[in-house]
Amino acid sequence: MALPTRTSGAGVELIKSFEGFRARATRLPDGSWIVGFGHTAGAREGLRVTRADAELVLRHHDLKPIEDLIGQRVLTPLTQNEFDALVSFAFNIGPQAFLESNVLALLNSGERLQAAEGMTAWRKAQVDDEVRVVDALVRRRAAEKALFLEHPSGRIPVPGALLRPQYDPGAALAMSRERAVVIEARTEDGRISAAPPRPASETAPQAAARAVSERMSKLLGEEPETGRSAEGAAPGVPTADEITRAVSALAEPDGAGEDHPDNNIIEARQIPAAPPRQPDEPAPQRVPPAAHEGKREILRPPALPPSRSNGMNGDISVMRWLPYALLSGLGLWGVFEGVRRTVAPSVQRFPGSAGEAYVGPLLAFGSALLSVLAIYYLYRAITRQD
């Protein structure tokens, strides 16, 4: 497999999509200028370029040193997709940072998957005088990693029924919980700043509550868009607003700007008493009174099931793990006793046959085996894996 020397069209398009196009030279915060698709070497004030010229400069001027660097420093054969991904990665972080990164070291040692994972670490930048995770860099690293791992002969079909993926706790621990910042590039002055939060009409919990209320309205035969008042609703049935407040309280108990009911309670309206009937008025047909008429009905949301953490269950039965605990303790005692019998002086041993010399080692070995098995099944019993 020969080493590619030029970036393919797919690699150039990947770089162009993330670098962005600037038809007019823009001043950067450090005083330099940028124009076209990330070109800085020949950029100056007042310079204008077309998209076609900017692509020529990118292909034959800006990417050429990066391609030569990868051809000289990467010692392992590369596919075209791997070469394109490395060119985009090195062009973004800079040649010196690429030479000092673990991506190059892992790649030269033959660890291709680890090298691809190493690209993910380069996702931070200085925004508003603070080093933060940038969403655009996260997306670019993901695209470069996907291109790097793309097999030249196409994707290998591996159905889930054949190889069912398993959860990897090590990969989950390596994930950072730091929230990425959305940036915006101001092309007029070349400054990069965090984008202001967009004014949202509703938060995620409120959107979920609205969806639940609409679903409940359809089930109850109500139409929220008709603007029907609370007096015209069915007696004893909570309104969509009350359902929305209850769901918001469940999803956002500490939210501001709205007084949520205590203990996430939905309180149904009190059924109004019927007006007195005139003597000459015919008796209306009336539904038989329910048991809760004239009272205030309290509807509570269903209790959530007890949560688990790390596979441990809080209500483990004692008889489930107690026998294994006793056997493990007995095994540890046997190991100690066997070692003591083995290393004890001969004068302390009881007189007997010559075969008693093997009692200590056999007792220690058997007890160690018993202890290992008991501890294994004790762990399975506690974590409820069997």
CA dihedral 215, 216, 221, 225 (to 10 degrees): -70
Find out whether 320 and 378 touch, Cβ atoms under 8 Å: no
What CA–CA distance (Å, rounded) separates 374 from 368? Answer: 10
* Residue in the block written with tokens 């490395």: 86
Query: Cα(first)–Cα(last) distance of the chain, in Å?
Result: 48
Give Cβ neighbours of residue 215 (< 8 Å, ≥ 6 apart). none
Alpha-carbon Rg for the chain in angstroms: 36
Give residue for tokens 């009350």. Answer: 242
d(CA 47, CA 156): 47
Return d(Cα 44, Cα 27) in angstroms, integer.
8
Are 80 and 8 in contact, with CB atoms under 8 Å apart?
A: yes
CB atoms within 10 A of CB 259: 7
Which of the residues 19, 82, 144, 242 is marked catalytic?
19
Q: In the block, which residue shows the tokens 């097999």?
A: 151
Name residue 124's beta-bridge partners: 133
**100 is annotated as an active-site residue:** no
- Measure Cα distances from 229 to 137, 206, 212, 222, 241 in Å: 50, 21, 19, 11, 11
Catalytic residues: 19
